[in-house]
Chain A
Amino acid sequence: MKTQQLSNAAGPIDALATHRPTRILRLRTMLHVGMKMMFYDKLKFAGTLFGVIFAVVLFNQQLGVFLGLLSKNTMFVDNARADLWIVPTSTETLQPGKPVPMSALYEARTTPGVAWAEPLLYGGASISLPKGGSEQVTVIGTKAPYWRGGPWNIVAGSVDVLRNPDVMIFEDSERDKLGGVNLGSVREVNGHRTVVGGFTWGLLPFAPSYSFAEYDYARVLLGTPSDETSFVLVGVGAGANPDSVALAVRKRVPAYDVLTTHTFRNRILRYLLESTGIGFTTATSAMFGLIVGLVIVSLSMFSSVIDNIREFGTLKAIGCGNKDLALMLLVQSAAYGLIGSLIGLALISNIAEAMRSPKLALALPWLTYACTPAVMVLLCGLASLLALSRIRKLEPGMVFR
């Protein structure tokens, strides 16, 4: 017995030196226990997951609506196929304002580095409805044969119908609103008899829908003098730098702003964010979604710790340190964040598809899908801090009480 006693007494000395699991092994162990504990209480698991899914869906829905609204306001600039825009000074958004003289067009055309320049007419018009009353549209006038500035997304007819006199292309999703128009229907636009020659799909800005006419007909409809236009679109030559060409054009038309498409787009976005309540309202709703999700996850994880406090005490007593248990909680929160994000993104993606229409489209770029899991993992990690603080204060001695 004595020999055994001595060897046993010596054993722990070696044990203390050798019982050092690698970090990877420790991580795997805590991952294993964390996952088992997480999936064991299915109701709590479902409740916590619901919180994450709720946050993901609400946040992305709000974000999608917001980005959708922004894209409605920049869709024209994005699709006009121009490198530069000559616009009245202080233009902040694409709306009819002070005209640009046609001389600016000619100055642009003769500037080195410019490949082409075309005028663009942009203005509001009224369509008389068969049963009385009227509807507003935004008339766009573009030049044949290149039709820079649109139309695009044509779903019926072709752009060349605009070469015919008194013909326009309207937005398909507004057909009912315009009195049930079809190809060949006739309507009065600003008092001028106009034939419906085609339809586009989805060209609904945050204003009356876009309707396209050949430039000269648009000038008649809008009553624009022949020496004026709304904007000038400019294309730069191959290999030319748009910024340098913009600078050169600006020197020739100093009374007007010459913007690259990128700058104009940013200017519109900045205007929308700073001068309207859209950004604040959407950001508030999105944050609200995240906060509610965060609170649900936080409380669920905390209550899970409280419910299993004896188990955590036992883990501490048998040798788990605070770092091990923190790792376990972080693993759990990461799992909640990831699983909830995947389910939430699948849901919101289906919701977006179901509600997609020219009037309201949720814009969910790939970056949203890529960033949501990372954001949710981070938030769930934050949510676990409350539970973590409880575990940190937990005395392992409680297992004997």
Chain B
Amino acid sequence: MNNINESPRVVDVNGLSKVYGSGAIAFEALKKVDFYADAGEFVMISGPSGSGKTTLLSILGCVLRPTAGRVVIFGHDVSTTRENELPSLRLSLIGFVFQGFNLIASLSASENIALVLRLRGWEPKQAQSEAVKLLAEVGIGEKADSLPRDLSGGQRQRVAIARALAGHPPLLLADEPTANLDGQTGLQVTELLKDLAAIHGSTVVVVTHDPRIHNLADRIVQLEDGQIRKESL
């Protein structure tokens, strides 16, 4: 992890390919994709199902290895980073918002958030108090002690956003954050994500095929059949 350097370009992807399987059943999900995200940007990746959006996001999130190409995050070439270094890299640099919220069912809303902070080295009490603050920021401060099963879909996604922001990671990756929400709630949650990311100074990459939230993007990248077809501002 010693090749990190200062750069306004948060994400820089060149010639990225990903092939699933091999031989006759090989499937090329990404075909020499070039992609970037600058610091503070709110970028959306859009496209039909099977276009490679989630594969791209997974590679950006360092949870999937590319077959070919170079992925640089904060000047650090993660495509060559050793496997055992990736967890701490993810913990330090990236916050995740998942389509299915992915909260830990046995932990309360605040504990879900505090967990990330504790993994980053925060003392339990400080982590808990910061978690409550973040919950207040996403508008559900009163739900700190609630378990995920006692929260609505919108509230769960707010907790997920607060968890993603915990510890101020410079890069937020959101996978279809509105998929399990109704139109109005989806819009509100995405606006919240954008506002808070701006306040926390995070760069956001959102994968979505929900056109109702496209107008919130600084830039939209259209993926189709594993390739970037169009970019629009």
Which positions in A face B, CB cutoff 8 Å? 1-2, 4-13, 15-16, 18-22, 25-26, 28-29, 32-33, 36-37, 39-41, 308, 310-311, 313-321, 324, 395-397, 399-401
Q: Contact at B92–A317, with CB atoms within 8 Å?
A: no
Other CB < 8 Å A-B pairs besides A32-B124, A319-B119, 5 of them? A7-B201, A9-B7, A15-B92, A16-B92, A29-B119
Question: Which of B102, B168, B175 has the most chain A CB atoms closer than 10 A to its own CB?
Answer: B102
| Residues on A with beta carbons closer than 8 Å to the beta carbon of B213 | none
| Residues on A with beta carbons closer than 8 Å to the beta carbon of B1 | 16
A80→B204 CA distance, assembly (Å): 85
| Residues on B with beta carbons closer than 8 Å to the beta carbon of A319 | 87-88, 90-92, 116, 119-120
Q: Contact at A397–B63, with CB atoms within 8 Å?
A: yes
A40→B168 CA distance, assembly (Å): 29
Q: Contact at A9–B120, with CB atoms within 8 Å?
A: no
Q: Does B136 contact A (CB under 8 A)?
A: no
| Residues on B with beta carbons closer than 8 Å to the beta carbon of A308 | 105
Q: Number of contacting residues on B, CB 8 A? A: 55
| Residues on B with beta carbons closer than 8 Å to the beta carbon of A2 | 8
Interface of chain B residues 103 through 155 with chain A (CB within 8 A)? 103-107, 111, 115-116, 118-124
Question: Which of A6, A12, A29, A32 has the most chain B CB atoms closer than 10 A to its own CB?
Answer: A12
| Residues on A with beta carbons closer than 8 Å to the beta carbon of B119 | 21, 26, 29, 318-320, 324
Contact with A along B176-190 (1 / 0, CB 8 A): 000000000000000
A16→B4 CA distance, assembly (Å): 9
With A19-B88, A19-B121 in contact, do A9 and B98 touch (Cβ < 8 Å)?
no
Q: Which of B40, B88, B115 contacts A29 (CB 8 A)?
A: B115
A7→B84 CA distance, assembly (Å): 27
| Residues on A with beta carbons closer than 8 Å to the beta carbon of B203 | 8
24 A-B residue contacts at CB 8 Å? A1-B40, A4-B201, A12-B92, A13-B4, A15-B93, A20-B88, A21-B122, A29-B118, A32-B111, A36-B111, A310-B100, A314-B102, A314-B104, A317-B96, A318-B90, A318-B115, A396-B90, A399-B102, A400-B54, A400-B61, A400-B63, A400-B64, A400-B175, A401-B54
**What is the distance, in angstroms, from A328's C-beta to the closest C-beta of chain B?**
11
| Residues on B with beta carbons closer than 8 Å to the beta carbon of A5 | 8, 38-40, 201
| Residues on A with beta carbons closer than 8 Å to the beta carbon of B93 | 12, 15-16
With A21-B119, A311-B105, A317-B90 in contact, do A9 and B54 touch (Cβ < 8 Å)?
no
Q: Contact at B40–A21, with CB atoms within 8 Å?
A: no
| Residues on B with beta carbons closer than 8 Å to the beta carbon of A401 | 54
**What is the distance, in angstroms, from A384's C-beta to the closest C-beta of chain B?**
18
Q: Contact at B6–A310, with CB atoms within 8 Å?
A: no
A26→B115 CA distance, assembly (Å): 10
Q: Contact at B88–A395, with CB atoms within 8 Å?
A: no
CB nearest to B75 among chain A residues: A9
Q: Contact at A8–B202, with CB atoms within 8 Å?
A: yes
With A11-B170, A12-B92, A12-B170 in contact, do A320 and B74 touch (Cβ < 8 Å)?
no
Q: Contact at A13–B6, with CB atoms within 8 Å?
A: yes
With A16-B1, A33-B107 in contact, do A400 and B6 touch (Cβ < 8 Å)?
no
| Residues on B with beta carbons closer than 8 Å to the beta carbon of A400 | 54, 57-58, 61, 63-64, 98-99, 175
**What is the distance, in angstroms, from B177's C-beta to the closest C-beta of chain A?**
12
With A40-B105, A400-B57 in contact, do A25 and B118 touch (Cβ < 8 Å)?
yes
Q: Does B196 contact A (CB under 8 A)?
A: no
Q: Which of B104, B175, B202 contacts A315 (CB 8 A)?
A: B104
**What is the distance, in angstroms, from B140's C-beta to the closest C-beta of chain A?**
20
Question: Which of A9, A13, A318, A399 has the most chain B CB atoms closer than 10 A to its own CB?
Answer: A318
Q: Contact at B105–A19, with CB atoms within 8 Å?
A: no
| Residues on B with beta carbons closer than 8 Å to the beta carbon of A37 | 104, 106
CB nearest to B207 among chain A residues: A400
**What is the distance, in angstroms, from A301's C-beta to the closest C-beta of chain B?**
15
A36→B7 CA distance, assembly (Å): 41
Q: Does B89 contact A (CB under 8 A)?
A: yes
| Residues on A with beta carbons closer than 8 Å to the beta carbon of B71 | none
A19→B118 CA distance, assembly (Å): 10
A25→B163 CA distance, assembly (Å): 19
| Residues on B with beta carbons closer than 8 Å to the beta carbon of A11 | 168, 170, 201
| Residues on A with beta carbons closer than 8 Å to the beta carbon of B124 | 28-29, 32
